[in-house]
Structures are given as C-alpha cells and as structure tokens.
Chains A and B, each alone.
Chain A
Amino acid sequence: MKRDVCAALVKERIDPRALVVCAMGSTGGAWRRQGASQPTYFVSDPMGMALPMALGLALAQPSRDVILLGGDGDFVMSLSALLTVAEANVKRLKIAIFNNGRYESGGGQPLSASGRFSLAAIGRGAGFAWSETVEEATAPDMVSEWMKAEGPALLIFTVDPESFHYPPTGRWAKMEERTLFMQRVLDAP
C-alpha cells in the first residue's frame, strides 16, 4: 500500500475531537498531505519517543482519541514502551505503524531482521488485545475496527518502499509548534 492511501484511510475515519501524534520522515509527510483538521504534534529527533509521548498525552486527555502514526524504524526503538502502554491500559490510544522494513527517510537501509519479524505479533505478545497487520484489500474495514477497539490497539500497515526527500525547514521552531499544539488542545477543547 502507498503511505498516502493508509493516511487517507485514517483521516476518513478519525474522530473530530481526536489528537494526533505523528512521527517524522515519510510518515509525517503522508499525514501532512491529508490536511487533517485534528491537532497534530509532529515529533522530531530523537527517534523512539513517539510512543511514550502519545501514552502521556492519552493519560492527560482520556476523553479523546489519541492517534499515533509512526514509522517502523522509529517504532522498534520504543518496543520497551509497549509493556508500559499495555499496563496503563489507556482506552483510547490507537497506534498505526507504517511498516516496510526499511529506514525510508535514512536512505532505505533494512531494519534488523527485516522480513522476519511481525510487529503485530510483538504487540500481542506485549499484551495488546487488538494488534493486527492489514493488507490493502481489508484495510478499510480493519482501520474502522481499529478505531473502535476497546483499549490500546496496534495496527500495522504494510507499505511500499517509496523515495523520500526532506522537506524544507518549517516556519515554526519546535518549541513554537509545541505551543501552538497545546493552545489547540487546551484552550479550545
């Protein structure tokens, strides 16, 4: 599947009041192109922090869906946090990972054990009640099911290799982006 197709499936089903935490690189580009209206916090270096940050946001905003959109390379740096998420049992944290076994933004190098691991199986092993890999034919229904799942849910999109070009430096510094995100979350809930 193309990343943009996956991101569009999420955008078409996301709750209007949801909050989004989005990884950098190819995943961030795919989500930005959707032009979604939900407040989105785009994480930056270092990799591996998107999942625990999304958990913290979900603990602070339990009445809203928190959607994490991440890349596989970023996600495997935070596998330790899966146990923490499973124990915290936040009801409305939904995690979608774009998986093609490559560090897309870093030049396309393979992840360790690329092609042999199953992130969905790792999620189930960590205690996630809903942890599934989706293919193109079933993706629309599976994304809907993932959104409605009770408790933390992990969805793995199998995506195609795509070329990546770094976007130009944005208008706002990260500290300013953080402030703008918090204004939208806290001042206009």
Chain B
Amino acid sequence: MDAGSSAESDAKSRARLIMDGLKRAGIDLVTTLPDTWISDLIDAADRDPAMTVVRVTREDDGVGVCAGAFLGGRKAALLAQNGGMLLSVNPLAAYAMSHMIPVPMLLVQRGSYDDAQYYQIYKGRATIPVLDAIGIPYHTIDGPEQFYIIEEAVRECFLARIPVALLLTRRAMIGTSKPKDDAGGRPS
C-alpha cells in the first residue's frame, strides 16, 4: 500500500470511528452538506444502513431538520463545515437556544493555521466568537485520541437541551495539520 492509499484508508477509519461515537450516543439521522475535510464522514454515513442521511442545500435547513426530529423523539446531528454554523446563527439562537432544542453539530474547523485558503480564514476567526455570543458550548477535537469527546458531548447536548459544536481540525479528520499546498495565495 503506497503512502497515498494508506492516508486515504486512515481517513476512512477515522470517519468510521466518529460515526460509531455518534451511534453510541443515539444518533440515527444526520443532515449533511459537504466539505472536503468531511467527505469521508459523509461517505461513512451514506454506507451505514442504520443511519438516515438527509442531504440539505443549506446548513440552516439541516439545523431545522435536526430540531424537527427532536420534536418527534429522534436524535439527529448536523455534519458540515464551520461556515455552515455561521449561516445557521438565526435558527440556532432562536429555535435551538430559545426553545431549548439540542442540535449536535460536527463542524470541520476551516480557516485556522492548518488551512491554506484566503476564503476560509474568516471562518476560523469568527466561529468561536460567534458560538460564544449565542451561548453554544464547543469542544475542539484535534485527533483520534480525542474522539471519545464526540459520544460524551452529544450525550451532554441532549441532557442540557441546547446545541453543542464539535470543531474538528484537519489533523483530526485527515491525519496531518500540514496544508496540502500553498495554492491559497500565500506569498512565496
């Protein structure tokens, strides 16, 4: 197995571990909108016969679907990038926080030191201040050794009846914190 296929296999293995943590916490429905870093996780959900996958066209719709599922007694989670949470501030602050509806969000944390794109940077800067502003707790997950947080944080989310954001770094999802290239506009 060459290095490339080994890394690919490792990413898929991480995705399965994350999916297992969600399922142990009772999640059987996920709403998804793709991002490169989260594609293996969405693929793992698609392949899991015990998981209902709802593909949304905007992440705030995904928050709404998760909230509606809770009203009917089902546990659902959003899989997206942190920019999707920024899009969803209104329903998160209004429905999830005001109505006390738990919505676990697994968000790849784009725009930090481990990213290499101009257009992602604002997401890295804005995500945590925005979560703080609307009162949503968050945990950064930087590698498989911290995947245990996923199950525990999702359980806490349903106990507390408010959302939680799990911020997944490049290292957690792909296995390296090093950006793939410098094509994002960094001066040479």
List the interface of chain A (C-beta within 8 A of B).
19, 21, 41, 43-46, 48-49, 51-61, 78, 80-81, 83-84, 87-88, 174-175, 177-178, 181-182, 185-186
Distance between Cα atoms of A174 and B67 in the complex (Å)? 14
Distance between Cα atoms of A31 and B54 in the complex (Å)? 29
Closest-by-CB residue of B relative to A43 is B95
Give the interface SS of chain B, mostly helix, strand, loop or mixed. helix
Q: Are A181 and B71 in contact (CB under 8 A)?
A: yes
A-B contact count (CB 8 A): 117
Known contacts A49-B60, A51-B64, A80-B58; A60 and B69 CB within 8 A of each other: yes
Distance between Cα atoms of A31 and B29 in the complex (Å)? 31
Closest-by-CB residue of A relative to B72 is A60
Q: Are B99 and A60 in contact (CB under 8 A)?
A: no
Q: Are A174 and B99 in contact (CB under 8 A)?
A: yes
26 contacts between A and B (CB under 8 A): A21-B68, A41-B71, A44-B95, A45-B90, A45-B94, A46-B90, A46-B94, A49-B63, A49-B67, A52-B60, A52-B61, A52-B64, A53-B65, A55-B64, A57-B68, A59-B68, A80-B56, A83-B57, A174-B99, A175-B98, A177-B99, A181-B71, A182-B71, A185-B72, A185-B73, A186-B72
Most buried by B among A48, A56, A88: A56
Min distance, Cβ A186 to any Cβ of chain B, angstroms? 5
Neighbour of A56 across the interface among B55, B60, B72, B98, CB < 8 A: B72
Set of chain A residues within 8 Å of B52, measured between Cβ atoms: 59
Distance between Cα atoms of A125 and B107 in the complex (Å)? 32
List the interface of chain B (C-beta within 8 A of A).
29, 52, 54-58, 60-74, 76, 90-91, 94-95, 98-101
Min distance, Cβ B33 to any Cβ of chain A, angstroms? 10
Q: Are A52 and B65 in contact (CB under 8 A)?
A: yes
Min distance, Cβ A183 to any Cβ of chain B, angstroms? 11
Closest-by-CB residue of A relative to B57 is A80
Q: Are B68 and A84 in contact (CB under 8 A)?
A: no
Set of chain B residues within 8 Å of A87, measured between Cβ atoms: 54-55
Set of chain A residues within 8 Å of B67, measured between Cβ atoms: 49, 52-53, 56
Most buried by A among B70, B71, B76, B90: B71
The 3 closest A-B pairs by CB, nearest first: A56-B68, A60-B72, A52-B64
Known contacts A44-B94, A59-B29, A78-B61; A53 and B68 CB within 8 A of each other: yes
Set of chain B residues within 8 Å of A59, measured between Cβ atoms: 29, 52, 54, 65, 68-69, 72, 74, 76
Set of chain B residues within 8 Å of A41, measured between Cβ atoms: 71
